[in-house]
């Protein structure tokens, strides 16, 4: 680390500490104010409804895959290329958050940035993920919050908090399904009906504050009649682990039947390590039906041994019989309610 970079980091940390100090003083005053007992603010509600509509028709307005493979007019793909009016939408949302999110507004003002001076979405101030641990970075009043997600850091860490209302959850759900469907089912012969969804996490009822498990539950709902098994459980120390008997039963099914429908296996990287280690220790191999696919996400978070990037899919292929082309990597952030998919796999054709 050079001296200039180190000085910049110290300066940024000091600035954030000053911003948090100001916010702490203001929060003490805000707690004594009358609670807003209305539903979600009308301005935010209207924006959320329009955004959901744009997401739902996004693949008609602009092809996600065209963007992922080079964009329109040979432009490189980037976050602002999904909709022609992305910049306009981003600036409108920034103005709404500046107005209704007191903590975020204070951070912006401390940096001298307001909606009046921002002309492009790249100028909108970002906040470090650590701020979600200390501040209530939300536009929702306490009485409007119907759900809260916590970041999935190690069990020893203080989690971030991400508050939701039914309408903000609806935006998250529309976004996650559209992108999931585009990446998992495009260019494939995957059979949704009568297929088996196996999820290597605890069920939603056991982990109500997990945005990832909420995502998997929405996938289950969208798939309709698909048979589903959440095979994770909670250990005594609160860590996620697997019910290995239930996992093998869900994966193997009736192995004597021919032409079984493909399985969709979803889970965190550390859950896959737990499963693979279990299979290796017992010299077991599960041959999933042809066309099955795997989506791994979430990283290791000190909950298992960490593997080099290329080793995990190699082991999945070896022990579960799923070809590399059918293994998708996803990365999500609770702070953003968004997901990113492995572009290399995304652009390949599933077998």
pLDDT tens for residues 148-199?
A: 998 865 445 678 889 999 999 999 999 899 888 888 876 555 555 557 899 9
Domain residue spans of the chain: 3-31+39-138, 169-346
pLDDT the model gives residue 209? 92
- List, for residues 273-294, the tens digit of each pLDDT value: 999 999 999 999 999 998 888 9
pLDDT higher than threshold 60 for residue 68:
no
How many distinct helices (H) and strands (E) make up the chain? 13, 10
pLDDT value, residue 333:
81
Is the pLDDT reported for residue 60 higher than 60?
A: no
pLDDT digits (tens, 9 = 90+) for 128-155: 888 888 899 999 989 999 999 988 654 4
**d(C-alpha 216, C-alpha 330), whole Å:** 12
What pLDDT, on the 0 to 100 scale, is given for residue 304?
67
Give the integer Cα–Cα distance in Å for 25 and 103: 11
- Give exposure, 239-273, as e/b (b: 16+ Cβ within 10 Å): ebbbbeeebbebbebeeeeeebbbbbbbbbbbbbb
Predicted pLDDT of residue 204: 94
Mean per-residue pLDDT, 292-298: 88
Distance CA 157, CA 169 (A): 25
Q: For residue range 328-343, what is the model confidence (pLDDT) as tens digits?
A: 999 888 877 888 888 5
Burial of 29 (0-12, 13-18, 19+ CB in 10 A): exposed
Quote the pLDDT of residue 17: 46
User: Options 3.40.50.620, 3.40.50.300, 3.40.50.980, 3.40.50.720; which CATH number does 169-346 get?
Assistant: 3.40.50.980
Q: Is the pLDDT of residue 57 over 50?
A: yes
Q: What mean pLDDT is predicted for residues 257-268?
A: 81
Most confidently modeled range among 9-13, 101-105, 130-134, 346-350: 101-105
pLDDT of residue 283: 95
| Residues above pLDDT 70, as percent of the chain | 70
Kindly tell me if the per-residue pLDDT of 115 is higher than 90: yes
Q: With beta carbons less than 8 A apart as the criterion, state whether 269 and 300 touch.
A: yes
Q: Measured at the alpha carbon of residue 274, what is the angle toward residues 269 and 275, in degrees to the nearest 5?
A: 95
pLDDT of residue 75: 45
pLDDT surpassing 60 at residue 32 = no
Burial class (CB in 10 A: 0-12, 13-18, 19+), 220: middle
More confident residue, 51 or 65: 51
- For the residues 19-44, what does the mean pLDDT come to? 50
| pLDDT computed for residue 214 by the predictor | 94
Binned at pLDDT 50, 70 and 90, residue 256 comes out as low
- The pLDDT, as a whole number, for residue 22 is 43
Lowest-confidence range among 64-68, 252-256, 340-344? 64-68
């Amino acid at each position: 680390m050079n001296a200039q970079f180190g000085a910049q980091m110290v300066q940024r940390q000091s600035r954030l500490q000053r911003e948090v100090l100001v916010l702490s003083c203001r929060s003490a005053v805000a707690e004594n104010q009358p609670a807003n007992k209305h539903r979600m603010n009308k301005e935010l509600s209207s924006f959320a409804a329009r955004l959901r509509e744009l997401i739902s028709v996004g693949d008609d307005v602009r092809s996600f895959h065209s963007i992922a493979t080079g964009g329109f007019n040979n432009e490189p793909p980037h976050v602002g290329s999904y909709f022609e009016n992305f910049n306009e939408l981003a600036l409108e949302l920034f103005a709404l958050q500046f107005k209704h999110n007191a903590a975020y507004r204070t951070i912006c003002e401390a940096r001298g940035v307001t909606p009046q001076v921002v002309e492009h979405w790249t100028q909108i101030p970002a906040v470090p993920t650590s701020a979600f641990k200390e501040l209530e970075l939300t536009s929702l009043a306490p009485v409007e919050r119907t759900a809260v997600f916590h970041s999935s850091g190690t069990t020893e860490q203080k989690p971030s908090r991400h508050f939701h209302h039914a309408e903000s959850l609806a935006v998250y759900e529309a976004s996650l399904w559209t992108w999931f469907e585009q990446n998992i089912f495009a260019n494939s012969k995957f059979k949704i009906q009568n297929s088996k969804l196996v999820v290597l996490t605890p069920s939603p009822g056991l982990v109500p504050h997990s945005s990832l498990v909420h995502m998997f539950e929405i996938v289950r709902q969208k798939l309709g009649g698909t048979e589903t098994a959440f095979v994770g459980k909670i250990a005594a120390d609160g860590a996620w682990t697997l019910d290995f008997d239930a996992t093998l039963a869900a994966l193997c099914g009736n192995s004597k039947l021919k032409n079984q429908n493909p399985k969709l296996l979803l889970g965190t990287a550390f859950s896959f390590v737990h499963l693979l280690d279990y299979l290796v220790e017992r010299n077991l191999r599960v041959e999933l039906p042809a066309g099955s696919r795997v989506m791994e996400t979430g990283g290791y978070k000190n909950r298992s041994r960490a593997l080099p990037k290329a080793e995990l899919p190699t082991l999945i292929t070896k022990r579960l019989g799923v070809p590399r082309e059918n293994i998708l990597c996803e990365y999500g952030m609770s702070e953003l309610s968004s997901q990113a998919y492995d572009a290399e796999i995304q652009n390949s054709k599933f077998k």
